[in-house]
Structure 1
Amino acid sequence: MSTATEAVYRGMLTHPQEGAAGLAARLGLPEHRVREALDDLSAMSLIRPATDDPSRLHTVQPELAAELLLARQEAALAAQQQRLQEARAAALRLTVEVAAPAAALHGDGIEILHGTDNIQDRLVRAGSAPGTAVHACVSGRPRQSAEWRLSLPACHRVLEGGGTVRALFLDSVRTAPEPAAQVTQLASRGCRVRTAPSLPGPFLLCGRRVAFVLQQDRKGELEALVTEAPALVSLLSAQFDGLWRTAQELREPAPARGGGTVSRQEAEVLRLLLEGHTDEGVAKRLGVSHRTARRIAATVMTRLGARSRFQAGAIAALRGLIRE
């Protein structure tokens, strides 16, 4: 809050009946600057039209104002931290993608595999040692995801060989009968399973020695960028550990939603809307259809009384509803 905006706020507390012209005279400020400060205070929800007389402005008391400003700063910090994490993930994926062709030619420990069968064969080799620990980040919609069809059998093979598996899936698998059954079966065989509202692109780590970054090639077929480069494997390991810490155990019930709160999935939609993602982007991150993404957005907008998608995200951030 600027010095002028703070002065106008204090002036409204002590002289609530004054208009912009009166406050300008009392504070020795140009009237246009007072009006700019009023706009700032309104944006911060520190003033609003009075319920009984909309032509008069109601000023929020300092105690509540402090809580609102703190919540606003915490939400901004959480959003910044989330963007930083996503930027690191994007930079890492770009590094692997750019480095892979040259490294493959020079034998620098990175190879590009095309097709599900070739990737499966390489996964078998990487995870065949007894006691191998596999960490899998499995994003995407199960019925349309080649990554899903590749990752689940790989996890089962490691468990059958006496290894351990920790796997991350999207929250959306909890409510889809067939994927839920598949993930539950995986968990029943000893896999540690957690879910998150959204996940980055899919990847697997074998023994934290070999990393498989899965993606679609230009023809839409599955390919894997495989690296044993310690720096890249360490970065992916750190990303997985960060996601794992905030994800929810599969066996834990979904968090209950009270009247003034939103579900984890809805909170993630609000965060993505605040950052300007389209329905297509939201659907891809959550592993749901475009129609479902639009329905969730419309639901939370109605619940929060928002007139736009961005406003819904801003209101949620101010109320502390968006996850860190």
Structure 2
Amino acid sequence: MTGIPELSASASDDDSMAVYACAVRRGGVTDSDPGLREELGLAPEAVDAALARLVDLHLLRAGPGDGGRPLVPVSPDVAAASLISPIGEEMHRQRTVMRQIQARLSLFQPHYEANRDSSPGQGRIESLSGDVELSGRLHLAVEQCAREFLAFRPGGPLPLGRIAAMACRGVAIRLLVQHSLRADLRARTAMREIIALGGDIRTVGQLPRQVIIFDDEAAFLLDDKQPGPCGVVIGHRQTVALLREVAEMVWTFAEPYSTGDIGYQGVTGDLQRTIVELLASGLTDEAIARRLGVSVRTCRRHIAAVLSSLDAVSRFQAGALAVSANLLDTGRLRNAAPGRASAG
């Protein structure tokens, strides 16, 4: 496939459009025509860059003639078609390869199912050794999901855009995400689409691990911060059902998200309580940031705001003031202590 030119907008686009309009009016231009530079009032290097850009975009092509390199204008529709055609051919080739891979490997599926189910102690809980295996298993689960999808802290290998695609084909979507996504413009756009398609989204202060459940048939428990396996996939129905019950309990206490909500509207207090609890648990800024789903810089801004609202000058004082004011859930504090969650 031929190379695709850079398509992002830039200030030089104005120069390119001016040169293209001039080429259309004249019926063509040459790269050595000083009159072109004078007519447009552009520096020689700006005209040269614009001509090169237009050639890359197939909006100018070489024409017959002498006296410099003649360039004739091409319709944008034709130029677009000439750029898109190789991409379409490559996509067709890749789809053919994908079908061949699926057909070839599907021959092994009956042997896998028969031997896995008869293997003693297998338990249908499998470790995912790396990102490639995880991506493949998630792709298959997404394609097979027909009724309901429930996820805690989606993202990474399963972005919101792919979840929206499931909603488009009628899968009931429920998502539990961190409060931080309420202030993320890109995430808000995807969540708006999911809600418009009938999905339900709620938010909480922190989610330590990704949990993804497909049709009550399979569940993924993912760990994006520990060395070794990146998680497990569970196919044992009773275990998936138990995990689903736990998820339902967490869902009940989460805050509903509406596309009309602005920023942290309605969840500021819960977010601040979560931050104080994590501070009092002795977690580092990096670990707290992971729990909240924000960058370390944003996390530190939140911490500074919490300390200011409590008139505290240190993490320890903030925790002590919050406990004395009955703002903290001491049971949650014990569960989040560094000995239990040192990795965040």
Alignment TM class, shorter chain as reference? 0.5 to 0.7
| Shift in Å, 1:282 | 0.9
Do structure 1's residue 292 and structure 2's residue 298 form an aligned pair? Answer: yes
198 and 178 in structure 1: CA distance in 2 versus 1, 3 angstrom threshold:
same
Q: Distance in 2 between matches of 1:166 and 1:226?
A: 19
Give runs of ≥4 in structure 1 deviating > 6 Å.
217-220
SS at match of 1:165: strand
Instruction: State which drifts further: 285-294 or 109-118.
Output: 109-118
The aligned residue for residue 188 of structure 2 is 180
Partner of 1:226: 233
Return closer, same or farther for 1:214/1:256 CA change in 2, 3 Å cut-off: closer
TM-aligned CA distance change 1:109 to 1:219, over 3 Å: same
Q: 1:316 aligns with which of 313, 316, 322?
A: 322
Describe the superposition over 1:79-134 as per-residue Cα deviations: whole angstroms up to 9, x where unpaired.
Answer: xxxxxxxxxxxxxxxxxxxxxxxx99953312234555644543454455574111
CA contact (8 A) 1:171 1:265 kept: yes
How far residue 165 of structure 1 moved from its aligned partner, in angstroms, is 1.1
Between the aligned partners of 2:194 and 2:310, the Cα distance in structure 1 is: 38
Partner Cα distance (1:175, 1:129) in 2: 32
- Cα drift, residue 219 of structure 1: 6.9
CA distance in 2, matches of 1:264, 1:239: 21
Work out whether 1:133 is the aligned partner of 2:148.
Answer: yes
The alignment partner of 1:213 has SS state of strand
Equivalent position of 2:204 in the other structure = 196
Q: Is the Cα contact below 8 Å between 2:145 and 2:214 reproduced in 1?
A: no
CA-to-aligned-CA distance 1:158-213 (integer Å, 9 cap, x gap): 32332211011111111121122122222222211111111121121112221111
Aligned with 2:289: secondary structure?
helix
Q: Which has the higher contact order (CA 8 A, sep 6+)?
A: 1
Checking the alignment, whether the CA contact within 8 Å between 1:213 and 1:226 is kept in structure 2 is yes
1:240 lines up with 2:247 in the alignment: yes
Rounded Cα–Cα distance in structure 1 between residues aligned with 2:311 and 2:119:
54
Q: Percent identity?
A: 28
Q: Tell me what 2:137 maps to.
A: 122
Q: What residue is the counterpart of 2:122 in the other structure?
A: 107
Q: Distance in 2 between matches of 1:249 and 1:223?
A: 30
Distance 1:179 1:248 in 2: 17
Give the whole-Å Cα distance in 2 for the aligned partners of 1:170 and 1:218: 20
Deviation per CA, 1:193-246: give whole Å up to 9, x if none: 1111111211211122211112348778x8441112244323421331122112
Q: Which amino acid aligns with 1:285?
A: R
Out of 288-297 and 229-238, give the one that drifted further: 229-238
Query: What is the rounded CA distance, in whole Å, between the counterparts of 2:133 and 2:119 in structure 1?
Result: 16
> 1:107 corresponds to which letter in structure 2?
Q
Q: TM-score, normalization: structure 2? A: 0.53
Name the residue aligned to 2:222: 214
Q: Is the 8 A contact 2:178 2:293 kept in 1?
A: yes
Q: 1:302 to 1:211 in 2, by over 3 A?
A: same
Give 2:68's aligned residue: none
- Contact 2:278 2:288 (C-alpha < 8 Å) held by counterparts: yes
- Tell me, what secondary structure is at the counterpart of 1:200? coil
CA contact (8 A) 2:172 2:199 kept: yes
> Partners in 2 of 1:274 and 1:218 — Cα distance?
23
Q: 1:321 to 1:166 in 2, by over 3 A?
A: same
Structure 1: how far apart are the matches of 2:119 and 2:231? 13
Cα separation, 1, equivalents of 2:211 and 2:158: 11
Equivalent AA in structure 2 for residue 214 of structure 1: L
SS, match of residue 283 in structure 2 = coil
Contact 2:152 2:177 in 1 (8 A): yes
Map of 1:253-268 to 2, 5 A cutoff? 253=261, 254-255=264-265, 263-268=269-274
8 Å CA contact retained: 1:138, 1:148: no
Q: Show the counterpart of 1:250.
A: 257
Instruction: Letter of the 2:276 partner, please give it.
Output: L
Tell me the SS of whatever aligns to 2:239.
Answer: helix
Asked if the contact 1:170–1:196 (Cα under 8 Å) also holds between the matched residues in 2, the reply is yes
Secondary structure in structure 1 of the residue aligned to 2:186: helix
Higher Rg: 2
Per the alignment, do residues 207 and 130 of structure 1 end up closer, same or farther by CA in structure 2, a change over 3 Å counting?
closer
The residue matched to 1:136 in structure 2 has which SS?
A: strand
Query: Is the Cα contact below 8 Å between 2:167 and 2:194 reproduced in 1?
Result: no
Answer whether contact 1:301 1:307 (CA < 8 A) is retained. Answer: yes
Shift of 1:269: 0.3
- Give 5+ residue unaligned stretches, structure 1: 1-102, 140-146
Gap runs ≥5 in structure 2: 1-117, 333-344
Q: How many residues align?
A: 210
